[in-house]
Amino acid sequence: MKEEFRVTPWEVSGKIDYSKLIKQFGVSKLDKELLKRIEKHAGELHLFLRRKVFFAHRDLNWLLDEYEKGNKFFLYTGRAPSGAVHLGHLFPWILCKWLQDKFGAEMWFQFPDEEKFLFKKNLSFEDVEKSLNENMLDVIALGFDPKKTHFLVDTKHANLMYKEACKVAKKITFSTVKASFGLNDSSNIGSIFYTSMQAVPAFLPSVLKKKKIPCLIPLGVDQDPHFRIARDVIPKLGYDKPALIHNVFLPPLSGMGGKMSSSESNVAILTTDSPKEVRRKINKYAFSGGRATIEEHRKKGGNPDVDVSFQYLRMFFEPDDKKLQKIYEDYKSGELLTSELKDILIKKINNFLAKHQKKRKLAKKQISKFLYKD
């Protein structure tokens, strides 16, 4: 049976075959040598790199060549505000924070507050504004250095961004946008223009400093089509193509295809969930690789490879390789029950969220420090 999957900036569905996706998108695999190169400079490898949460890239070797020549890069990623932030959103942001610390990189974070307004039917700018403020708290809570981190809000920084976006837009045809994003003659014209706004932060620092500065964009792989176009255009404007590093999606609790989605709150753990809510969601919805009865589980063992709780530990919450290996083996042998495995995960998530939520509260007073001022 052929399994279908779809990965676009507007839709992620089906069981994703990431090796196929590498070919489909024409990105490169993040291989051992490249990881070693990162490790050499950073002194260690972040869990997301060691465990292949980040699995693909474009031009990362070039970026490191430049770095080794003393040409420092800046980081760029973003979040289109619409609703709550869930754990899956944090992958690129946490990697950015780590890269900022390890490479002393400046960070540019875009909040395209027009994006979801343009692409979603019933979303007003008032709704977006509320999410915008909440989403900013999640980013700040991760510990970015306010002196080295700049938030761009498309409608608020329009004065700075619009001219650059027009330069990008002038070099993209309607047929390219149609082919890359599945837009068509009945798409609204704002949605057709949008990708040019998402391209801007990848070279804006170079515009401001009046020199080429290398750019690295950590991003969910669904965002790659935007930058495939941007990478064609940006050199025509006199700047270097940004390098990219792509992450896989955190699977939804259901273990089904696609990605964790905030709009289906039962398949996603939100950064604002209470400990009780986390417990309820994991116990009720986290797809289990366990057996139907305890007796059978003890006898035949469970399947950690399909177990969502185990995947969350592997991808995010258990940094200790030995501990993770033991959980894997104990679950497989039947020594560890599903309820016990879930309990390990629930405690880890709640521990992470308790700290995150505390920092999120403190972040309220910091927003203005992060908003870019020209």
Return residues touching ligand TRP (CB under 6 A).
9, 77-80, 110, 112, 115, 198, 217, 219, 223
Q: Of 74 and 317, which has the nearer Cβ to ligand TRP?
A: 74
Closest among 373, 2, 5, 11 to 225, alpha carbons compared: 11
Cβ-based nearer residue to ligand TRP, 74 or 328 = 74
The least CB distance from residue 46 to ligand TRP, in Å, is 18
Q: Which is nearer to ligand TRP, 115 or 240 (CB)?
A: 115
Calculate the alpha carbon distances from 70 to 34, 36, 81, 87, 241 in Å.
18, 19, 35, 35, 18
- Nearest alpha carbon to residue 56 among 80, 78, 34: 34
What is the SS3 assignment for 205-246?
HHHHHCCCCCEEEEEEHHHHHHHHHHHHHHHHHCCCCCEEEE
- The CA distances from residue 113 to 260, 363, 373, in Å, are 21, 20, 18
CB atoms within 10 A of CB 166: 12
Question: Closest approach of Cβ 95 to ligand TRP, in Å?
Answer: 12
Pairing relation of β-strands 54-58 and 243-247? antiparallel
Cβ at position 80, least distance to ligand TRP in Å: 4
Buried b (16+ CB within 10 A) or exposed e, 14-38: eebebeebbeebebbebeeebbebb
User: Got the DSSP string for 25-78?
Assistant: HT-EE--HHHHHHHHHHHSS--HHHHTTSEEEEESHHHHHHHHHTT---EEEEE
Which of 79, 259 has the CB closer to ligand TRP?
Answer: 79
Q: Which is nearer to ligand TRP, 263 or 333 (CB)?
A: 263
Q: Are 191 and 119 in contact (CB under 8 A)?
A: yes
Nearer to ligand TRP, 95 or 278 (CB): 95
Nearer to ligand TRP, 10 or 321 (CB): 10
What is the smallest separation between the CB atom of 77 and ligand TRP, expressed in angstroms?
Answer: 4
Question: Min. distance of Cβ 317 from ligand TRP in angstroms?
Answer: 23
Q: What separation in angstroms does the CA of 77 have from each of 53, 91, 107, 109, 244?
A: 16, 11, 8, 5, 10
Distance (Å, rounded) from C-alpha 357 to C-alpha 164?
36
Looking at beta carbons only, is 245 or 337 nearer to ligand TRP?
245
Taking the complex as a whole, how short is the minimal distance between the CB of residue 81 and ligand TRP, in angstroms?
A: 8
Q: Between 80 and 139, whose beta carbon lies closer to ligand TRP?
A: 80
User: What is the DSSP secondary-structure string of 306-369?
Assistant: T-HHHHHIIIII---HHHHHHHHHHHHHTSS-HHHHHHHHHHHHHHHHHHHHHHHHHHTTTHHH
* Distance in Å, CB of 314 to ligand TRP, minimum: 24
User: Least distance (Å) from ligand TRP to the CB of residue 92?
Assistant: 6
For residue 84, the minimal CB distance to ligand TRP (Å) is: 13
Q: Give the residue with the Cβ less far from ligand TRP, 219 or 315.
A: 219
Provide the minimum distance between the beta carbon of 10 and ligand TRP in the complex, in angstroms, as a whole number.
Answer: 9
Point out the residue whose Cβ comes nearest to ligand TRP.
78
Task: Name residue, tokens 């909440």.
Answer: 134
